[in-house]
Structure 1
Amino acid sequence: MPWFVKIEEGKVDKSTFDLHVPAHKAYVRELIAKGHKARSGYWAQFGGGMLLFEAASMAKAEAIVADDPLVKNGCVNYQLYEWKIVVE
């Protein structure tokens, strides 16, 4: 399956963002359970992060990202890319 990466930048204050972090963590755990090999994290510098996951197509990846609580609740701006692995 192809890999995808969502690069995100926070657009709300930290207290609002933090309200949705538990739901985001549960969402990532669900992606892992469904076989998407998801990983999520944030930059050491304040203000953004990344979600890496497998999906069958860009359309499926877009649907997966649309279900992210951070996206659904307007906490982040993001870009979604298909990631081509060169070396494994």
Structure 2
Amino acid sequence: MPWFVKIEEGIVEKPVFDQYVPAHVAYVKALIAKGHKAKTGYWGKRGGGMLLFEAASKEEAKAIVEQDPLVQNGCVSYELLEWCVVVE
């Protein structure tokens, strides 16, 4: 299955962003339970992060990203890219 990356940048103040973090964590755990091998984290500097996951297609990846509470609540702007793994 192809890998996809959502590279995001926070676009709201931290207190607003932080109220949706628990829902985001639950969302990522649900992706893991569904077999998407998701991993999420943030950059060492404040203001952005990344979600890495498997999906069957770019369309499925886009649908998955649109379910992220951080996206649904307007907390981040993002770019969705397919990541082509060279070595595992």
TM range (shorter): over 0.9
Counterpart position of 2:41: 41
**How many matched pairs?**
88
Output aligned runs, 1:1-88, within 5 Å.
1-88=1-88
Q: CA deviation at 1:87?
A: 1.0
Compute the TM-score of the two structures, normalised by the length of structure 2. Answer: 0.99
Unaligned runs of 5+ in 2: none
Q: After superposition, what is the alpha-carbon deviation per residue over 1:1-49, rounded to whole angstroms, capped at 9, x for unaligned?
A: 0000000000000000000000000000000000000000000100000
Q: After superposition, what is the alpha-carbon deviation per residue over 1:41-78, rounded to whole angstroms, capped at 9, x for unaligned?
A: 00010000000000000000000000000000000000
The sequence identity of aligned pairs, in percent, is 70
Unaligned runs of 5+ in 1: none
Tell me the amino acid that sits aligned with residue 29 of structure 1: K
Structure 1 runs (4+) greater than 6 angstroms displaced: none
Tell me the amino acid that sits aligned with residue 84 of structure 1: C
Compute the TM-score of the two structures, normalised by the length of structure 1. Answer: 0.99
User: What is the alpha-carbon distance in structure 1 between the residues aligned to residue 86 and residue 45 of structure 2?
Assistant: 27
